[in-house]
Amino acid sequence: MKSRTIKVDYLARVEGEGALYVKIKNTTVVDVKLKIFEPPRFFEAFLRGRAFTEAPDITARICGICPIAYQMSAVHAMEDALGVVVDGQLRALRRLIYCGEWIESHSLHVYMLHAPDFLGYESAIHMARDYPEIVQRGLQLKKVGNEIVTHLGGREIHPINVRVGGFYKVPTKQELKPLAERLKWARNAAFETVRWTATLPFPEFEQDYEFVALQHPEEYPFNEGRLVSNKGLDIAIRNYDDYFVEEHVPHSNALHSVLKEQGSDNLTGRPYLVGPLARYNLNFHRLSPLAQDAARSAGLSPVCRNPFQSIIVRSVEILYACDEALRIIQEYEPPEKPAVEVQPRAATGYGCTEAPRGILYHRYRIDDDGTILDAKIVPPTSQNQKIIERDLYQFVSKNIELPKQKLTQQCEQTIRNYDPCISCATHFLKLNIEQE
Amino acid sequence: MTRKRKPKLAVWKFASCDGCQLSLLDCEDELLTVADEVEIAYFLEASRAVVKGPYDLSLVEGSITTPLDIRRIQQVRQASKFLVTIGACATAGGIQALRNFKDINEFISVVYARPEYIETLDKSTPIANHVFVDFELRGCPINKKQLVEVISAFLQERKPNTPAHSVCIECKLRGTVCVMVAHGTPCLGPITHTGCGAICPAYYRGCYGCFGPMETPNTASLSAWWSRLGAKEQDILRVFRGFNAYAEAFRKESEVHEK
């Protein structure tokens, strides 16, 4: 009996600490584990006893790459609890800061973390020796995203200007103008990014996924909508806990999330996929005409089931975010007040927004004084873990004859398709491949 | 200047959100220049390539929270000529040091259905509690300009120019009206280490101390002012128990306000 293992002790070019372990007996994959050994940080525990107003600042610290997503899910959940609606230009500014985070985070992933896999480089810095203009374009695109976040949020990582009810300070029309000029450049650069990523070599690997994303009647989703899937799920955010369940497996410090089989409370539910592929497949018709055209002209159909092509989909989303940010800035009129008044009351609130890596669910129960009694936070990566493991199982099964080094590298690439955010998931991951 | 060889840079991660090492990738204009001056020998967030130590400059992010990490930080120290901590987690234990004031078993049972799968220490501690640290860069997150300054200073063999005065001075320098005096907004600026650029007051909110205590903070006096502005004991306790809760000055002041 021949057996092999593929092990990667420390996954690179992901956020946080994880590892891969794949065990192969003869020509069959017998075990796949995506291990998350990032130490736990206990956010849900120490949110208890804090003021409701602190949730956006504290939960931002779960992740340095997508702090806005945490802030947005937190403020929406608190506003849901307090019966407050934030609309008009304040709502538009929230979309604008989310555009900034998508541009920054997606550009980082496309250019610095994912593209080197396709072209055979260890890093974007190595890639820059042969493709200096491309890496520079990626860095400058990322910078425009960061400029939006810094402008509205005070700084790019852990912004300080987001609060329950709105913002501490809103910009003047004049202050947003320089961003519009930068965004016009970025929109062209994003268009070029879609064309460029479409030329990369993609393994043939189509999978049948259950895609889960927010869906909104008028917009490509950021902050609001119903939770839908291509296999019949269609629920309000507040019903999340009735349909999704998290389980704790021995090999991971991150909880695995699955869709419950209806009428059953057992934990053997269906895995599902969240993130850019899910959003794109469920909401293609809500992309801006420019983003739709760019996708089609790059040869991407409105249905994409190849996870390796997520790099093109991310690029389409960067283009959309540039388009949307420009629209918001052009239509911007400063609101009278930077925030809506909020008064605490005893209630439970639910929030779910589209982080760059997928849906990010928050639930808080607060008392009369606004003290948090309990908190539940489900980040995108813990929802995608089971699908990542399934992709690895399928990919290795299909490519079992590859030499070990090549197979290991492609397993890493399979994981990076998801841009997993390990720090988020533990609030994630260790990779070993073993072959007997 | 010609060098015999490029110094080797390593970036290490312990318990953290990755935000401080991301600050290096956020130096969009400087990153490739930095990569020309140093050999990026170990930086997993950015590169699969791993070059063996020893390393000339190690940047360490995150706090120590597991038994394995105690051993790992000692190995990192042994392999490093200069070791610089980056951020509030590595320098003060981070937000995860909030466990230090509670029963860790209760925390584990709140978050995890199967506590037996979890291996963790009952305290989250800064890197300097375990090994000698050559320089500490504050902030949650760090300021990327200060990070470039630290790397430049290292390359030029001088001390980094990162002032230790309070956020108040920074507000005066940028001409921000004092939110505490003018609006009665409680602010930690008078006792907080500068470095962020005093952004919170510029956005009409009080400083919440993400750079930790300044050199000689008068925390008791500031707490008294907060009381006069209507802050309750619980509010004062919570504000000192933030992203730098385990920094000595903040920890001691928080304990004064504990019931």
pLDDT-derived band at A431 (thresholds 50, 70, 90) equals very low
List A residues 320-349 in contact with B (Cβ-Cβ < 8 A): 338
How many angstroms separate the CA of residue A397 from the nearest CA in chain B? Answer: 24
**Chain A residue with the nearest C-alpha to that of B119:** A39
Higher pLDDT pick, A367 / A19: A367
**Chain B residue with the nearest C-alpha to that of A144:** B28
Query: Nearest Cβ partner of B95 from A61, A65, A154?
Result: A61
pLDDT-derived band at A113 (thresholds 50, 70, 90) equals very high
Give the model's pLDDT for residue B3: 58
In one-letter notation, the amino acid at residue A96 is L
Q: Could you give the count of Cα atoms lying within 13 Å of B114 in the half-sphere of its Cβ?
A: 12
Query: Nearest Cβ partner of A168 from B18, B31, B204?
Result: B204
Nearest Cα to A15, choosing from B142, B23, B18, B43? B18
Q: Taking a C-beta distance cutoff of 8 angstroms, is the pair A117, B48 a contact?
A: no
Question: Is A64–B202 a contact, with Cβ atoms under 8 angstroms apart?
Answer: no
Query: Nearest Cβ partner of B28 from A15, A67, A142?
Result: A142
Q: For the stretch A250-267, what's the b/e string if a residue is b when 16 or more beta carbons lie within 10 angstroms of its beta carbon?
A: ebbbbbbbbbbeeeeeee
List B residues 130-159 in contact with A (Cβ-Cβ < 8 A): 140-141
Q: Among A188-197, A421-430, B10-19, which is the least confidently predicted range?
A: A421-430
pLDDT-derived band at A263 (thresholds 50, 70, 90) equals low
Question: Is A11–B47 a contact, with Cβ atoms under 8 angstroms apart?
Answer: no
Q: Is the pLDDT of residue A247 over 80?
A: no
CA distance A70 to A91: 16
**Chain B residue with the nearest C-alpha to that of A419:** B45
pLDDT-derived band at B107 (thresholds 50, 70, 90) equals low
Chain B residues with beta carbon closer than 8 angstroms to that of A374: 110
ipTM: 0.94
Give residue B258's Cα distance to chain centre.
24
How many angstroms separate the CA of residue B48 from the nearest CA in chain A? Answer: 5
Q: What is the pTM of this model?
A: 0.95
Question: Is B48–A13 a contact, with Cβ atoms under 8 angstroms apart?
Answer: yes
Give the model's pLDDT for residue B112: 57
Express each pLDDT in B224-244 by its tens digit.
999 999 999 999 999 999 999
Most B-contacting residue of A42, A114, A141, A267 (CB-CB within 10 A), to test interface: A42
Express each pLDDT in A168-215 by its tens digit.
999 999 999 999 999 999 999 999 999 999 999 999 999 999 999 999
Most A-contacting residue of B6, B28, B39, B200 (CB-CB within 10 A), to test interface: B28
Give percent of chain B with pLDDT exceeding 70: 93
Q: Is the pLDDT of residue A436 over 60?
A: no
Cβ atoms within 10 Å of B134's Cβ, excluding its own: 13
Q: Tell me the two tokens of residue B255.
A: 């304990």
Q: Is the pLDDT of residue A128 over 90?
A: yes
Q: Which residues contact B110 (CB under 8 A, 6 or more apart)?
A: A42, A44, A45, A48, A374
Q: What is the pLDDT averaged over residues A39-66?
A: 93
Express each pLDDT in A337-362 by its tens digit.
999 999 999 999 999 999 999 999 99
Q: In 3-state terms, chain A is what percent helix, strand and coil (to 5)?
A: 45, 20, 35
**Chain B residue with the nearest C-alpha to that of A109:** B46
Express each pLDDT in A395-420 by its tens digit.
999 999 999 899 999 999 999 999 98
Query: Nearest Cβ partner of B13 from A17, A57, A123?
Result: A17
Chain A residues with beta carbon closer than 8 angstroms to that of B46: 12-13, 112, 123-125
**Chain B residue with the nearest C-alpha to that of A38:** B15
H/E element, A355: strand A347-355
Higher pLDDT pick, B120 / A10: A10
Nearest Cα to A158, choosing from A67, A30, A233, A72? A67
Instruction: Please tell me whether the peptide bond between A40 and the residue prior to it is cis, using omega within 30 degrees of 0.
Output: no
Q: What is the pLDDT averaged over residues A102-122?
A: 96
Query: Nearest Cβ partner of B40 from A10, A125, A156?
Result: A125
Q: Among A180-194, A256-270, B8-22, B151-165, which is the least confidently predicted range?
A: A256-270
Query: Nearest Cβ partner of B28 from A62, A139, A169?
Result: A139
Q: Tell me the two tokens of residue A130.
A: 């042969």
List B residues 186-215 in contact with A (Cβ-Cβ < 8 A): 196, 199-200, 202-205, 208, 210
Chain A residues with beta carbon closer than 8 angstroms to that of B49: 122-123, 126
CA distance B217 to B138: 15
Q: Are strands A372-378 and A18-25 parallel, antiparallel or unpaired?
A: unpaired
Q: Is the pLDDT of residue A432 over 50?
A: no
A182 touches chain B (CB under 8 A): no
Chain A residues with beta carbon closer than 8 angstroms to that of B238: 50-51, 54
B35 touches chain A (CB under 8 A): yes
B13 touches chain A (CB under 8 A): yes
In one-letter notation, the amino acid at residue A4 is R
Question: Is B49–A58 a contact, with Cβ atoms under 8 angstroms apart?
Answer: no
B18 touches chain A (CB under 8 A): yes
Q: For tokens 């009206």, what's the residue?
A: B177
How many angstroms separate the CA of residue B60 from the nearest CA in chain A? Answer: 14
pLDDT-derived band at A17 (thresholds 50, 70, 90) equals confident
